Amino acid sequence: IEAKVGEEVGLPCYKIPSSDSLENYRVYWQKNTTEVVLAYAGTKKISEDKRYINRTKLDTRNLTLWISPVEILDNGPYRCVVQNKQSSPSHQTVYDETMNLLVTADFSEPNIEREVTASSCESTEMVVRCSSNGGFPKPKIHGVLNNVSVVLNTTWVSESSFSPHNVTGTLWLNVTKDINFTCSVESSGIIRSTTLLLAKENNCIVSTTPPSYNVITASSIIIIVFLLAIILAARYLPRHVCSHCSKNQDSVEEDVKESMKPPKISKVTCETSSV
């Protein structure tokens, strides 16, 4: 018999004949064959477990045990024993049956989170986590990528075997294109699913590698040589040009001086001959 946490559930037992009454019977409802949940001798309640106080009642005609509200700790086997006080021999057992109560609690809708760990132009590395909480009993968790099943690394957390469970499934992915990820949590035949689009990062991160020591050294030498060449050119080239200019200037000055000199008068000796 299955019941959800918080609901009411009835565990059937022995139906007393219409010609008879509860006064002629003893009824024992036990859990795990040792804990007396509820016991009646005729119409008088003779025992009740403290955990079930104000949560149980007995149907006086079919001896059904009603439990409300159902708790996770109610999960387990129950035994109903009915004895007839009027039979011979006395207190003969007329009914003795055991049934199992399966208590369930719905899990929350799966929550999917992703964490990008690395990204490049070609792909995006990420960790995907799917979690669901507060359910019972222990669930199964499934993952699907674009209609292809994948195995999740699953962990369960609960305070005890009769406490609500929290479940988490983890998946490491290298995404090269946008894909759909569906996470499903299954417990007691009930499946809850969530789907999330895992998008590849659009931005490209280009890593710059610093130049090697040899490249730095060669570049430094080239720069130093270039600077020295500029310095030497600045120092010696003007001097050479000026010395050349000085020689040209001296030549011009000599030409000017020559042009300024008066013309030379040549002495002519005339000889007069007497006739």
Same domain, 140 and 193: yes
Q: Among 104, 139, 160, give the residue marking a domain's end.
A: 104
Task: Answer yes or no: is pLDDT of 97 > 90.
Answer: yes
> Which of 4-8, 130-134, 237-241 is predicted with the least confidence, judged by mean pLDDT?
237-241
Report residue 49 as tokens. 């477990």
Q: Residue 86 belongs to a domain with what CATH number? A: 2.60.40.10
**Highest averaged pLDDT of the listed ranges 21-25, 126-130, 254-258:** 126-130
Same domain, 98 and 23: yes
Same domain, 185 and 99: no
Q: What is the pLDDT of residue 204?
A: 64
Q: Among 176, 198, 220, give the residue marking a domain's end.
A: 198
Record the pTM: 0.65
The per-residue pLDDT for range 175-231, each reduced to its tens digit, is: 999 999 999 999 988 999 999 999 988 766 555 555 565 656 767 788 887 777 777
Strands 2-4 and 92-104: parallel
Q: Among 198, 219, 252, give the residue marking a domain's end.
A: 198
> CA 254 to CA 246: how far, in whole Å?
13
Domain extent at residue 115: 111-198
Q: What is the pLDDT of residue 236?
A: 67
Residue 71: inside a domain: yes
Instruction: Identify the burial level of 148 via C-beta atoms within 10 angstroms of its C-beta, where 0-12 means exposed, 13-18 middle and 19 or more buried.
Output: exposed
User: How many folded domains does the chain comprise?
Assistant: 2
| Residue type for position 148 | V
